[in-house]
Amino acid sequence: MADAALPPRVTVFCEDAKQPQQDAYERVYPGGIGRAIGEALTAQGFVVRNAYSSQPDNGLSAAVLEETDVLIYWSHKAWRDVSEATIQRSYERILGGMGFIALHSTLVAPLFLRLLGTTAAMRWRNIGEKERVWVIDRSHPIAAGLPPYIELQDEEMYSEDFDIPAPDELVFISWFEGGEVFRSGCCWRRGRGKVFYFRPGHETAPTYHDPLVQRVLYNAVLWAAPQSSVLPVRRNERAPTAPEAEVAGRCSA
C-alpha cells in the first residue's frame, strides 16, 4: 500500500585500484566485486548501476546520486582515491534519505566514519577461517528468509571490540573459528537515511556469490530504500511566527 511500485535504484560503488592479491581477487571475482554484486542485484529485479573510484567524480556525481535510492559501497585500501567532494556529496545525500550499505573493509572509508562519528577500529586476521554469521533478530526485515546462521568457509576475521556507536538495531553476530566474535550486521539512522554495515566480503573469498549473502543484500536494499523523496541536507531554520503571536497574545492578557 504505502510502498511505491517501482523497485529501488541501486548504485554499487567499488574501488577499482589493484588489490594486494590481485590475481586471487580476479579468479574469484572476474571484473571485480562491484560487478558480482551488481549482477546479483540485477537478477533480483533491482535497477542497478556500477560506480568505480577511478571514474570522474568517483562514479558518484551529483547526477548519479540523484538517481540513486540505495548506495552499496565496497572499499578497501584505496579509500584515499575517493575525493573529499565525493564523500561530502554522498554524505549529504544519505542524510537526506538515500540508503547506505557499507560492506566489509568499508569500515575504513571516511564516508562511513563521517556517518558514525567513531573510528570503527577492530582487530583482524587474514588466514582464511570459518565464519558463522548468526541471525540474532529473526524478525528483522534484513533477516527475512534466512536460516539461523550463514556459514562461510574461508573468510578474513574481524574481532571485537569494534569501535562503533551502539547500533540502533543489531541483526547479525559473527562467530569465527579462531575464537573471536563480531557485530556483523548493524543498523543506524542518520538524518533521514538508513545505514547498514555488513561484515563479510574479503576480496579473495567467494562470499558475494553465496545465495544467502545475496539474500542479505536484497533484504538490505529493501530495508534501506527511502520511503519518499530524498531531501536536501537540513539547516537550522527559524520557527514559524504564528506561535510567537500566540505567546505574545497570552502574555499580554
C-alpha cell at 103: 560492506
Min dist CB 31 to a second copy, Å, is 26
Which residue, 49 or 190, is less far from a second copy as judged by CB? Answer: 190
Q: How many CB atoms lie within 10 A of CB 205?
A: 22
Closest CA to 50 of 9, 100, 101, 103: 9
Select the residue interacting with a second copy from 78, 144, 206, 212 (CB under 8 A).
144
Contacts of residue 121, defined as CB under 8 A and 6 or more positions apart, other chains included, come to: 162, 163
C-alpha cell at 52: 568505480
Which residue, 59 or 96, is less far from a second copy as judged by CB? Answer: 96
- 10 Å CB burial of residue 138 (0-12, 13-18, 19+) is exposed
Which residue, 63 or 251, is less far from a second copy as judged by CB? Answer: 251
Select the residue interacting with a second copy from 17, 28, 78, 108 (CB under 8 A).
108
Q: Which stretch binds a second copy (CB under 8 A): 32-40, 52-60, 197-205, 233-241?
A: 233-241
Select the residue interacting with a second copy from 62, 67, 85, 244 (CB under 8 A).
244
Contact status: 4 vs a second copy (CB under 8 A): no
Angle at 53 between CA 52 and CA 54, to 5 degrees: 95
Contact status: 63 vs a second copy (CB under 8 A): no
In the shown chain, the binding pattern of residues 112 to 131 toward a second copy, with x for contact by CB under 8 A and - for none, equals --xxxxxx-xxxxx-x-x--
Q: Which stretch binds a second copy (CB under 8 A): 19-27, 49-57, 71-79, 156-164?
A: 156-164
The letter for the amino acid at 70 is V
Binding-site size for a second copy (CB under 8 A) equals: 78
C-alpha cell at 63: 547526477
CB contact at 8 A, 215 and 191: no
User: What letter would DSSP give residue 58?
Assistant: G
C-alpha cell at 144: 527475512
Contact status: 169 vs a second copy (CB under 8 A): yes
Q: Which residues inside 186-225 make contact with a second copy, applying CB under 8 A?
A: 188-194, 219, 222
Min dist CB 83 to a second copy, Å, is 18
